[in-house]
Amino acid sequence: MKNILARAAGVAGLLMAFSAGVMSAQQPGPVIRFEESAAAMGVTFRHETGAAGELVMQETMGSGLSLLDYDGDGDLDIYFMNSSPMPGWKGEGKPANVLYANNGDGSFTDVTAKAGVGDTGYGQGSTVGDYDNDGDPDLYVMNHGPNILYRNNNDGTFTDVTAEAGVGDPGWSSSGVFFDADADGDLDLFVVNYCDSSPENNKWCGRKGKEWRAYCTPQVYTMTADRFYRNGGDGRFTDATLEAGIVDRTGKGLGVVSFDYDHDGDIDLHVANDSTPNQLWRNDGTGHFREVGLLVGIAYSEDGRSEAGMGTDAGDYDGDGLQDLLVANLDYETNSVLRNMGGTFLHMGYTSGIGALSLGRVGFGLNWLDADNDGNLDVFVANGHIIQNIKMYNDTLSYAQTNQLFLNQVDLTFKEVGETSGFALPNVARGSAVGDLNGDGLLDIVVSRNGGPAGIYMNRSRGLGHWLRLRLRGTRSNRDGYGSLLALKAGGRVQTREVRVTRSYQSSSEATVHFGLGGAEKVDGLTVTWLSGLEESFEVPGVDRVLTLVEGKGRKLAEKNALRRGGPAKGRAPIDSGG
Amino acid sequence: MPPREMLGLFLVLAVLGCGSPSRQDEQRPAEATPVPVVPSADADPDIEPALPALVSSGDALSDGVSLLRRGQVQEAIDLLEKAREEHPSDPAIAFYLGRAFNTDTKLARAEEAYRAALAIEPGMAEAWLRLSAIYVEQGRLAEALECLRSLGRERGRGPNLDYQEGFVLSKMGRFPEAMAMLQSSLKARPSPDAWYIYGVTAQRAGDDDQAVGAFQRALSLDPSYADAWFNLGNALSRQGRTKEAEDALRRFADLNVAKEEAASLASNLRVLRRGAEMDLQDGNLDRVEAQIGEAEAIDPGQPWVERLRGELLLAQGQREACLEHLRRSEALNARDPGEQMALARAFRMAGDPEVAKRHRHEAERLLKDGAGGMP
């Protein structure tokens, strides 16, 4: 393995030259600023835990949210998950999930009732995917209890099709992901399940004395297996967990991200498990999997310990064309930055500067995002402790904690700027999602908070670079192009992105692919490799705009064998990362 | 800090009743609890044994330390705080107050107390090391490094201090400096831990060739070094030496899995015991029964299971049956003074004060011998 510092030096040199150009064109320099705007935008959602004093684990673990354009009007709407009352709850009303429609003028309207998505189950996570390829996003809702699939009727309403689709997993599901495991053109579904804690088998944890009681850890409960549903293409799914080789007897899963870790053209899965080793399910190209986490270096911490994996995301932060991983962990564990070295991973927690700054926090949601449009992926972490009385146990910890924003310094390190960029107020955050809510070309961040109001951090930064946002429309591949690989050349360098929405914790971000371009005023090349195997280039007429790329409408570069079920996997074209 | 290395001092802290958040209590195996405690200064020939003598302020100090050793942390804190008010210029009192807060995971207050001790006696090596450990634990690496450098200025350098500095510099990403420090330490005193951290540092710097060599050196000194097998496996995997990597990772798994499983079972038993005791207090007898049953399924040979079954029967009015289970518990001969105290209480409640007295004495004897902590 080459010395990564030497590799980094090459990348850094290129990018520093690039950044210098950006800076000179944008004096006096960018100002990174996010503003908490939920209330001002009419988003009054408040998560209820439903807690009644017995400290049942599920109360403290939720919840998540999804960004989706449910009504097809071109802007992002928000779906928040909510809990339901525990026995003896003293609250009023009945908590339910809430859907907010984006009015396109900076405000949102609660359309839950009209849309028919106000599930009152004990909500945890949600994810989005057009499973029936009819051109609108469908919603999968994960509960402590039966999950729900809402099919979008393309008229502003949804229908609960769980029973006919066969995806009503009854356990404690935390996160789930739609992805095309076998590249047959429709989206399959992987659901991450946690453990068997429930009000009925709740245990007493904490130190002696009632005031010391605390939520239990997953170690005192039994894991419940994850589930893989294969899409039959007719509106029905088949539980193909074992057939697909997903034999999971250990994982207490909370987060999941689908990505092509080994660059072989099919989509693999990374599952973040709590207190048990994380897993990497390697796809053989036919929708069959083998767990390789230990061998590739993602199963344990740097010193070989199982950590409390919560949220996870994948993205190419070092510009080498390979997807790197983030994993949020508990306090006294570092959040993991796992650099993809070509199919194996290197722990970069301390090296990146993120590790040491996560020791005093409990991370849940986290996202790669280009917050400052400089073309480099930055990191957002949504923090908040699990235990309300944590200060009794440790006087340096707190229940409410500040979220963090780490800016990529282009030398494999990050600089934390949260305090000065709008994340100074402590909260008990869980899920997080990223998208451009107001269409200004800057990525905004939405968080859900346990037992608290939702947060919308609008990106009000000034002096940032150019951008390009891309929507994919699959014709042979799945409709939204999930799993496609984009390579964009601009300003003398190449950036790569994979299309995915499920990332972070219990949450789903926008499907639109966002590229920050820094000072580059034109795009020199854009290629898309679809899961169908088609690789094509697209002309980009200019920057600072949103484009829709339709499969088959570009200039064909190559036609690789599609990853048909039972057929051999073929690799994608090597990425020209040399600029 | 390699968790293995922390184990020794962690066990000491456990005996002292080290408090940590319940999530860590229940979830993390003891050796994985990330309390980055630096080795005692007296392990370093260049730094004289530095624990303050228990003399200067007489009984209050020795009583406080004694309470701390018994696991009566809050009582120790109360006593030592009072002693500190009376003897504000005594560094030993400030130091042991810091230890007490440290044990109680009141790290901010521990920091303040260690700082106070060092303001009076800047040469107190143990205080510098423990302060440094607190900072490492919180990710305050620059402050940790400064503590170690202050110690070096006060007391001179040695292989242990070089190792500590190398460890912190590595976490800070200052790889060349870290490797120089570790080399210095290794030259004076080769140890598996220093080789291991050297390997981790080389790995972080992207030099897998050096990392593999260092992990192999660590393993040549200690073939049971699980962390080193783990990192050797990962480094070999990155080098494409898959077969060797698999062998190393298999060794890691063999060493690690049983340990994690044992820790998990122990954690479960602790939770069940605590839950059953709380439910017994609250009169939730069905839940007590359920938790006892669950514990028996995990490990039927637990003295506390028999004792709690006895207490449950007593709560149900079955005194004779209760005594039978208490005697079974007695026969299992718990080495935990806390359990002996609980047994004493149970016999007293069951109307047998003589046997209760015997168990109280046994608890005190065990405490004197340094076993376990108070309930």
**ipTM score for this prediction:** 0.88
**Start-end of CATH 1.25.40.10 domains in chain B:** 3-258, 261-368
DSSP class of residue A420 equals G
- Taking the CA of residue B48 and the nearest CA in chain A, the distance in Å comes to 31
Chain B residues touching A300 at Cβ < 8 A: 230
Residues in contact with A471: Cβ distance below 8 Å, sequence separation at least 6, in sequence order: A511, A512, A513, A546, A547, A548, A549
Contact B234 A297 (CB under 8 A): yes
Hey, what's the torsion of the CAs at A79, A280, A235, A560, to 10 degrees?
A: 110
Residues in contact with B252: Cβ distance below 8 Å, sequence separation at least 6, in sequence order: A304, B226, B229, B230, B233
Residues in contact with B187: Cβ distance below 8 Å, sequence separation at least 6, in sequence order: none
Chain A contact for B7 (CB, 8 A cutoff): no
Residue B258, pLDDT above cutoff 60: yes
Contact B34 A332 (CB under 8 A): yes
The CATH number given to B3-258 is 1.25.40.10
Contact A220 B21 (CB under 8 A): no
Mean pLDDT of B136-161: 96
CB atoms within 10 A of CB A566: 9
- Taking the CA of residue A387 and the nearest CA in chain B, the distance in Å comes to 8
Touching B: A residues 88-147, CB under 8 Å: none
Check: CB of residue A341 under 8 Å from CB of residue A1: yes
Residues in contact with A234: Cβ distance below 8 Å, sequence separation at least 6, in sequence order: none
Contact B204 A386 (CB under 8 A): no
Best to test chain B binding among A196, A211, A219 (most B CBs inside 10 Å):
A219
Residues in contact with A9: Cβ distance below 8 Å, sequence separation at least 6, in sequence order: none
Check: CB of residue A296 under 8 Å from CB of residue A345: yes
Residues in contact with A340: Cβ distance below 8 Å, sequence separation at least 6, in sequence order: A261, A320, A322, A323, A324, A325
Tokens of A106: 């900076």
pLDDT tens per residue, chain A (579 residues)?
333 333 333 333 333 333 433 434 445 678 999 999 999 999 999 999 999 999 999 999 999 999 999 999 999 999 999 999 999 999 988 999 999 999 999 999 999 999 999 999 999 999 999 999 999 999 999 999 999 999 999 999 999 999 999 999 999 999 999 999 999 999 999 999 999 999 999 998 988 777 889 999 998 899 999 999 999 999 999 999 999 999 877 899 999 999 999 999 999 999 999 999 999 999 999 999 999 999 999 999 999 999 999 999 999 999 999 999 999 999 999 999 999 999 999 999 999 999 999 999 999 999 999 999 999 999 999 999 999 999 999 999 999 999 999 999 999 999 999 999 999 999 999 999 999 999 999 999 999 999 999 999 999 999 999 999 999 999 999 999 999 999 999 999 999 999 999 999 999 999 999 999 999 999 999 999 999 999 999 999 999 999 999 999 999 999 876 543 333 333 444 333 332
Rounded to the nearest integer, the mean pLDDT of chain B is: 82
The pLDDT of residue B367 is 72
Chain B contact for A222 (CB, 8 A cutoff): no
Coil, strand or helix: which one is A187? coil
**CA A37 to CA A43: how far, in whole Å?**
9
Chain A contact for B246 (CB, 8 A cutoff): yes
Chain B contact for A3 (CB, 8 A cutoff): yes
Given the structure tokens 């299309």, which residue do they identify? A499
Mode of pairing for the β-strands spanning A545-550 and A534-537: unpaired
Beta bridge partners of A518: A466
List the end-to-end C-alpha distance of chain B, in Å, as a whole number.
30
Tokens of A304: 């070989």
Element (H, E) at A338: strand A336-340
Q: A287's torsion region: left (phi>0), alpha (psi -120 to 50) or beta?
A: left
Touching A: B residues 99-158, CB under 8 Å: 105-109, 137-141
Best to test chain A binding among B6, B20, B22 (most A CBs inside 10 Å):
B22
Residue B12, pLDDT above cutoff 80: no
Contact B252 A295 (CB under 8 A): no
CB atoms within 10 A of CB A88: 11
The torsion angles phi and psi of A335, rounded to 5 degrees, stand at -65, 140
Q: Does the model's pTM come out above 0.90? A: no
Check: CB of residue A98 under 8 Å from CB of residue A82: yes
Mean pLDDT of B235-263: 90
Contact B274 A204 (CB under 8 A): yes
Check: CB of residue B342 under 8 Å from CB of residue B304: yes
The torsion angles phi and psi of A560, rounded to 5 degrees, stand at -90, 165
**CA A93 to CA A110: how far, in whole Å?**
17
Distances (CA, A) of B194 to A556, B126, B206: 56, 20, 18
Chain B contact for A200 (CB, 8 A cutoff): no
Chain B contact for A249 (CB, 8 A cutoff): no
Peptide linkage before B39 cis (omega within 30 of 0) = no
Chain B residues touching A332 at Cβ < 8 A: 24, 33-35, 137
Chain B's closest residue to A208, CA to CA, is: B274
Coil, strand or helix: which one is B341? helix
Element (H, E) at B236: helix B226-238
**Higher per-residue pLDDT: A287 or B277:** A287
- Taking the CA of residue A211 and the nearest CA in chain B, the distance in Å comes to 12
**CA A403 to CA A400: how far, in whole Å?**
10
Coil, strand or helix: which one is B60? helix
Chain A contact for B279 (CB, 8 A cutoff): yes
Contact B267 A219 (CB under 8 A): yes
Check: CB of residue A492 under 8 Å from CB of residue A569: no
Coil, strand or helix: which one is A35? strand
Q: How many CB pairs under 8 A join A and B?
A: 162
**CA B320 to CA B322: how far, in whole Å?**
5
Contact A357 B139 (CB under 8 A): yes
The pLDDT of residue B9 is 30
Question: Closest by alpha carbon to A180, among A226, A135, A229?
Answer: A229
- Taking the CA of residue B91 and the nearest CA in chain A, the distance in Å comes to 23
Mean pLDDT of B234-243: 95
Distances (CA, A) of A80 to A122, A209, A433, A576, B272: 12, 36, 11, 40, 36
**CA A327 to CA A293: how far, in whole Å?**
14
Chain A contact for B291 (CB, 8 A cutoff): yes
Coil, strand or helix: which one is A448? strand
**Higher per-residue pLDDT: B109 or B293:** B109
Chain A residues touching B238 at Cβ < 8 A: 1, 297, 341, 344, 346
Chain A residues touching B2 at Cβ < 8 A: 303
Element (H, E) at B119: helix B107-120
Tokens of A468: 């390009």
pLDDT, tens only, A225-245: 999 999 999 999 999 999 999
Residues in contact with A224: Cβ distance below 8 Å, sequence separation at least 6, in sequence order: A171, A172, A193, A194, A195, A196, A252
Touching A: B residues 207-226, CB under 8 Å: 207-208, 226
Tokens of B132: 């440094």
- Taking the CA of residue B55 and the nearest CA in chain A, the distance in Å comes to 30
Contact A390 B21 (CB under 8 A): yes
CB atoms within 10 A of CB B224: 12
**CA A71 to CA A100: how far, in whole Å?**
11
Peptide linkage before B159 cis (omega within 30 of 0) = no
Chain B contact for A294 (CB, 8 A cutoff): yes
The pLDDT of residue A345 is 96
For domain B261-368, the question of CATH label 3.30.1330.60 is answered with no
Answer positive or negative: Cα dihedral of B235, B238, B243, B247. Answer: positive
Touching B: A residues 370-429, CB under 8 Å: 386-387, 390, 393-397, 413
DSSP class of residue B41 equals G
Angle at B316 between CA B315 and CA B322, to 5 degrees: 75
Q: Which of B35, B238, B256 is opposite residue A304, by nearest beta carbon?
A: B256
Specify the range with the lowest mean pLDDT, choosing from A26-30, A477-481, B195-199, B278-282.
Answer: A26-30
**CA B303 to CA B269: how far, in whole Å?**
12
**CA A530 to CA A472: how far, in whole Å?**
10
Beta bridge partners of A458: A35
Hey, what's the torsion of the CAs at A416, A418, A424, A426, to 10 degrees?
A: -80
Coil, strand or helix: which one is A15? helix
Q: Which of A218, A305, A390 is opposite residue B32, by nearest beta carbon?
A: A305
Answer positive or negative: Cα dihedral of A526, A461, A327, A223. Answer: negative
